[in-house]
Amino acid sequence: MTQSPPSDLEPLSRVQVLSVMAFTAVLLLTIAKVWQYWGQIRLLPLRFVAVDFLWSLGLALLIVLASGVIYRLWPAYRQSADRYLELVLTPLTWPDLLWLGLLPGLSEELLFRGVMLPALGLNLAAVLLAGLVFGVLHLSSPNQWPYVVWATVVGVALGYGALASGNLLVPVVAHICTNWISSALWKSQRRA
């Protein structure tokens, strides 16, 4: 079992983590729908295309592999990621990981890639700005900046996947699978 670093955040219960995830998902979905309505934004389409689905799985694996490399090479990221994941994952049961994939994967992608990208112009600048805002959303405390840097990189990758494919399916599936795989790996490595 890997020893977890001391956390500057209070531990949360399972109910608290699930409640925060649900509340955040509803809040982000509401912001997305209000922004879409008032901004008269045409949502990036979500359609099942086999090639796009395969690209999203490849993107998820690339993100998980890159995260693993960065985790091993960058001690500040490793400590930051462990703190964040310990806070979120420790109280959750294995079936709860389903929600950890679906709730953020759907709500965050609808807002950041489905609405924000088209609102900002569906270009590289929009991908970078949406990625930065996505990264900042993952800031749980001031010393979590390495995790924010990584989340920003992931947000840019997901945004580029959406931009290149024109399909919201790519970042949604990649985000959900990334959350499932990385949380399962982290949780399994900390089993007694």
pLDDT tens track for 115-124: 999 999 999 9
User: CB neighbours (10 Å) of residue 184?
Assistant: 15
- Cβ burial of 43 (10 Å; 0-12, 13-18, 19+) is middle
pLDDT above 90 (res 143): no
Assign 2 a pLDDT band (cuts: 50, 70, 90): very low
- For the stretch 91-112, pLDDT in tens is 999 999 999 999 999 999 999 9
Whole-number Å distance between alpha carbons of 102 and 175 = 9
Whole-number Å distance between alpha carbons of 173 and 156 = 15
Residue extents of the structural domains in the chain: 49-90+108-192
**Cα angle vertex 176, ends 170, 178, to 5°?**
95
**Confidence (pLDDT) at 192:** 38
Q: Which of 19-23, 59-63, 116-120, 188-192 has the lowest mean pLDDT?
A: 188-192
Residues 135, 151 contacting (CB under 8 angstroms):
yes
Cα torsion 87, 90, 92, 96 to 10°: value is 90
Backbone region of residue 40 per phi and psi (left: phi > 0; alpha: psi in -120 to 50; beta: other values): left
**Ramachandran angles phi, psi of 76, nearest 5°:** -65, -40
**Confidence (pLDDT) at 84:** 87
Q: Is the pTM of this model over 0.85?
A: yes
**Confidence (pLDDT) at 129:** 98
Whole-number Å distance between alpha carbons of 46 and 26 = 19
CA distances from 38 to 19, 30, 44, 79, 129 (A): 28, 12, 16, 41, 20
